[in-house]
Structure 1
């Protein structure tokens, strides 16, 4: 970035750089969160003037009738100019048979990410294998995207850390027994997970269920002290 700014000060033409990316990984591994961070970071670095994030997927880009998809794609891209366009499950653009509307969306996207690369960053996200197949469907991707980031599944300790962080944020604390039960549950979840395992979303759902059980328990007891309001027991974790 410093070199680009120095060239501009010297009256030299800026070197064209593409910041488009591909994020691969299973659900709940932080792809959208990192996209939000990148959008803010690129604004601070002067790469993007607004740094806002626009999130979309196949439903936001592919129309129902021939000739309407390009218009739909262009409208979404225009809304993301000077910011980041995050396309979740991007492989779905070409995964459905029976029509070529998805391919029309891809062709339009490839043109726009080239024409607007000085004021737009597009992040294509999805499962690793499906994204590899998706990128092979159009040779235009290879020459326009050279930044790839793979998001690994969380291990049991990381899932535990996310849960504890959520507790800390809302002034809850776990008893030793609750923490032990939580650790066992995360280990079992890891052992039986598949590619659809929610990772961070799994933790969020478990945390919300735990708070609901906690609230029901203490409300039934009728003992609403500061300690009971903030203490999660093993009984609350299911």
Structure 2
């Protein structure tokens, strides 16, 4: 999971001010204090006092905020082997999509018994029935949901929530992994976060706290499907449980958590 960092108040503000003073940069100091460069010292002092108060308040407020930092995690993923039966849950008619085909092929290549579950606009009871039909009398090692990837963002969120409930109704014991695409941004070079995908990401964080025994994690997928991305996904699904990584972003440059 990404690290949550507190924003330290204080010294940054003073450091910026005294750096301008030491450089003797009158124009920069005037801009910082929002005064005319030609004002007298008597006019500067009230402005300086006001600036100091404002910056102190801003520093305190910044100290209440948190930032999220993503770091490469590939080297920290525990070695593991995929196996057993996995359900790949997609929207009705999307089993032939790029990511759906890629994930099914990747899991099958790892020796997994893959069962695709296509869900239409059905309620909790209907989803539970589809799951029972797919599982039968067998046990499930894991569930990978692509319901939130693409399409209507509200349906993606609603479908994911209903799936979580239905899995509990049916008694599926395998860990649920929920995929998004554009749900998080791992750095400045990354794309803009998609609001609808971020909603699913937020829901997943709550589900992880309320249903730890059935939760696997969140995986934010890259835009395109290729063998390298699928290989990294296999590593996440096989080994993330051993490393504690349950919030992961796959990018062209690697795996971030």
**Normalising to structure 1: TM-score of the pair?**
0.33
Structure with greater proportional strand content: 2
Larger helix fraction of residues: 1
Q: Which has the larger radius of gyration?
A: 2
Q: Which one scores higher on RCO, CA 8 angstroms, separation ≥ 6?
A: 1
Provide the TM-score with structure 2 as the length reference: 0.31
